[in-house]
Amino acid sequence: MNAEEQQSMFKEMEVKTFYIGMSLDDPQKTTVIFQGPENVLYDIFMNPETKPIVEASGHIYEDTKITRWIS
């Protein structure tokens, strides 16, 4: 998530990384909270055409739980 290319993409999309936390029990599991325009990241993660791009960053779709919140 902190790779230069991803941060550049997030900046273009007006997305900020609000929180990244790693599980104490399983370091392969993380919680990531983003803040940005409604549905921007949701649409990327749910679009089958962008799946290869997201997976190239090391993301594992099988265990992903995506939720959306508003303030």
Quickly state the pLDDT bin for 22 (edges 50, 70, 90): very high
Is 35 a member of any domain? Answer: yes
Is 68 a member of any domain? Answer: no
The count of structural domains within the chain is 1
Is 14 a member of any domain? Answer: yes
Q: Is the pLDDT score of 14 beyond 90? A: yes
Is 69 a member of any domain? Answer: no
Distance CA 52, CA 2 (A): 18
Place of tokens 């190239």: 56
Is 42 a member of any domain? Answer: yes
Is 28 a member of any domain? Answer: yes
What average pLDDT does range 4-24 have in this prediction?
A: 87
C-beta contacts of 17-24 below 8 A and 24+ residues apart: none
**Each residue of 23-62: pLDDT tens digit?**
999 988 889 898 999 988 888 888 888 888 778 777 887 7
Tokens representing residue 70 in the block:
């508003």
Is 37 a member of any domain? Answer: yes
Q: Which domain holds residue 55?
A: 4-63
- Residue 25 contacts by C-beta under 8 Å, 6 or more apart in sequence? none
Quickly state the pLDDT bin for 1 (edges 50, 70, 90): low
Is 70 a member of any domain? Answer: no
